[in-house]
Structures are given as structure tokens and as C-alpha cells.
């Protein structure tokens, strides 16, 4: 009979625990990676899918183009495409983990004493994360690369403005948070909150498939994921996301009516000052809350954060996702 010393038994138990954790992370990487790949492919395939669908209804390509020339219709199409992109693919993660949606995403009301401070901090952080975007944009501009972001014509009138808010602020806040700060973040938290925040933020940045927006989206993803975890509810992320996008829509609409560059610059400066105040008001409000800790809970894992992150990003499907993101980003330049 072979006997093991106490030290050897502990080493073997640790080895088994490490291998089990590696397998679990690889499984999550595969599920999330497949979902992400479907997500970034949909924007490049939706036009062909729509053409095929309308063709089955007897609508010609010319008729479809005429229909899509309407600004209001385009906004509705954007809402539908965004919803499909984020609501469908990530259910692969839910089914793959064998858990109920409510076990992954916290739909409960956020902590009342933390909600307002974190929303204020989130608004301020999102505004100043734009500095990263401007820095990257300047870098690519110096190399002779200019991004041409697709512009969707804004419908006229009050109804048109409300439609833009629905497609640009309401829908993204709901569906993107559901996917990234809901399913992705929630499913990865078993491997540590810090790990889940980093991975969900990285994927949120990459999914924009635009070198100029990736740094901004990554930083915002960190703030949103952290806020959701600390307040215990996805509604905090939705609120920050919605308010940030709403402010952007309002500023864009305001600048359309203002021709003076100096006045636009002054309004932008005031906007950043207000956002900075929001951040500090939220931050200092947290300092007066009892038992409020800004640090994350320690992870109950045997692998280090570096090891967990390396395992996730070295998975073949994640590598394919990154390559696809680079290719689509280059195409959009």
C-alpha cells in the first residue's frame, strides 16, 4: 500500500483544485467567446439577413433601400439590431453554465445608501474617460488614419428626438448592461470579482471594434462593473449607462443648433466641470456612509489573478475573437 505524507496530500489536493479551476475558466472562456463572436458578426451580417427576410416577403432590394432611407425607420432598425446582438448570443453562457438567469444577474433594487453616490461617480468617470478616446484619436490622426463613424440621420420633430433617445440611450443601457454587466460579469464572479470586472470590461471595449473607442469603453466597463458589484444590482450600471448616453445625445442635439465653435467649447468645458463635481460629490458621500468599503472582497480561488486572466485570454476562441476584432477595427478605419 502506498502512503502519502501530510505535505504530499496537501500538494495533491492543491494540484487537483488548480486543474479544476483551470477547466472551469476555460469552459467560461469558450462559452463567452462563442457568444462574443456571434455578437460582433451580427452588425456585419444584419443587412444581408434583412434583405433575405424581406425578399421572402416579396420586397425587392430597391424597395428595401427606399424604406431604409427614412431616418425613423433606420432608428427602429438600430434598436432591433442592438437588441438581437446583445440579448440572444449571451444566452449561450446561461445555458452552458446550467444556471437560472436570476442566479447570474442581480435584478434586485440596489443598496439605497450606495446607489446615488455610485451613479454620480459613474457619470463623472464616464465623462473623463473620453480623454482616453481623444488621446487615441490624436495618435491615429498623427499616423494619417481617420475614423469615419457611421452617421445615422436624426428624424425630425419631438417624436424623432424621442426615437433617438430610445435607440441611443435607453436600448444600449438595457441590452448592453444585460449582456456585459449581467451575464458575462455575473457568470465570471465565481472566479473572483476582480477577474470578472477585468474580463467583462475588456470584452466591452473590444466589442466596439473601433481602436478609438476601445480604451474609452474599457475604462467605462471597469467603472460600470465595479458599481454593479458594490451596489449589488445591475440597475446601477443601467442608470449610469443611460444617463451618460442621454447627456451625449442632448449635447449633440444642442451643438447642431450652435454654429459658434467658441460657444461649443465653453459648453463642453461646463459639462466636464459639472461631471467632475458629480464624481467628487459621489466620492465624498461614500466616505460618510458607515461600513462602506471601496475594496473588493477577496477571491476564494487557488489561482492568482494573473494566472486566471492568462488562462482566459489564451483560450483559442478568445484569440479568434481578438483577431476578428482587430480585423473589423481595421475595416472601419
Residue 204 lies in a domain: yes
Residue 88 lies in a domain: yes
Residue 326 lies in a domain: yes
Residue 251 lies in a domain: yes
Separation CA 84–CA 78 (nearest Å): 10
For residue 51, the tally of other CB atoms under 10 A from its CB is 15
* Residue 3 banded pLDDT, cuts 50, 70, 90: low
* Residue 145 banded pLDDT, cuts 50, 70, 90: low
The total number of structural domains that make up the chain: 1
For residue 2, is pLDDT > 60?
no
Q: Give the mean model confidence (pLDDT) for residues 238-253.
A: 93
In this structure, the chain runs to a length of: 333
| Helix axis angle, 157-165 to 71-87, nearest 10° | 20
Residue 1 lies in a domain: no
Residue 259: CB partners within 8 Å, gap ≥ 6?
none
**Structural domain for 24, as ranges:** 6-331
Residue 233 lies in a domain: yes
Gyration radius of the chain over CA positions: 22
Would you give the end-to-end CA distance of the chain in angstroms?
67
Residue 124 lies in a domain: yes
Whether the CA torsion 194, 199, 200, 205 is positive or negative: it is positive
For residue 54, is pLDDT > 70?
no
C-alpha grid cell, residue 108:
434586485
Amino acid at each position: 500500500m502506498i502512503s502519502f505524507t501530510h505535505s504530499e496530500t496537501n500538494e495533491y489536493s492543491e494540484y487537483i483544485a488548480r486543474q479544476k479551476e483551470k477547466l472551469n475558466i476555460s469552459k467560461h472562456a469558450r462559452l463567452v467567446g462563442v457568444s462574443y463572436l456571434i455578437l460582433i458578426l451580427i452588425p456585419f451580417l444584419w443587412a444581408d439577413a434583412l434583405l433575405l427576410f424581406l425578399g421572402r416577403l416579396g420586397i425587392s432590394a430597391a424597395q428595401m433601400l427606399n424604406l431604409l432611407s427614412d431616418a425613423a425607420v433606420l432608428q427602429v432598425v438600430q434598436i432591433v439590431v442592438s437588441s438581437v446582438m446583445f440579448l440572444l448570443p449571451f444566452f449561450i453562457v446561461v445555458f452552458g453554465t446550467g444556471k437560472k438567469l436570476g442566479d447570474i444577474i442581480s435584478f434586485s433594487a440596489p443598496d439605497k445608501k450606495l446607489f446615488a453616490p455610485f451613479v454620480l461617480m459613474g457619470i463623472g468617470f464616464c465623462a473623463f474617460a473620453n480623454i482616453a478616446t481623444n488621446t487615441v484619436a490624436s495618435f491615429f490622426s498623427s499616423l494619417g488614419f481617420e475614423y469615419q463613424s457611421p452617421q445615422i440621420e436624426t428624424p425630425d420633430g419631438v417624436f424623432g428626438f424621442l426615437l433617438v433617445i430610445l435607440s441611443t440611450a435607453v436600448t444600449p443601457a438595457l441590452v448592453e448592461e444585460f449582456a456585459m454587466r449581467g451575464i458575462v460579469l455575473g457568470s465570471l464572479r465565481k472566479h473572483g470579482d476582480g477577474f470578472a470586472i477585468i474580463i467583462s470590461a475588456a470584452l466591452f471595449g473590444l466589442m466596439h471594434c473601433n481602436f478609438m473607442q476601445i480604451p474609452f469603453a474599457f475604462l467605462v466597463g471597469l467603472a460600470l462593473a465595479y458599481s454593479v458589484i458594490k451596489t449589488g444590482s445591475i440597475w446601477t450600471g443601467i442608470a449610469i449607462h443611460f444617463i451618460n448616453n442621454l447627456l451625449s445625445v442632448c449635447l449633440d442635439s444642442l451643438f447642431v443648433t450652435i454654429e459658434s465653435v467658441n460657444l461649443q467649447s465653453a459648453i463642453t468645458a461646463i459639462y466636464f466641470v459639472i461631471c467632475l463635481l458629480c464624481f467628487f460629490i459621489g466620492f465624498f458621500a461614500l466616505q460618510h456612509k458607515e461600513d462602506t468599503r471601496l475594496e473588493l472582497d477577496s477571491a476564494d480561488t487557488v489561482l492568482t489573478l494573473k494566472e486566471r486572466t492568462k488562462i482566459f485570454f489564451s483560450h483559442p476562441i478568445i484569440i479568434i475573437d481578438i483577431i476578428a476584432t482587430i480585423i473589423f477595427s481595421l475595416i472601419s478605419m
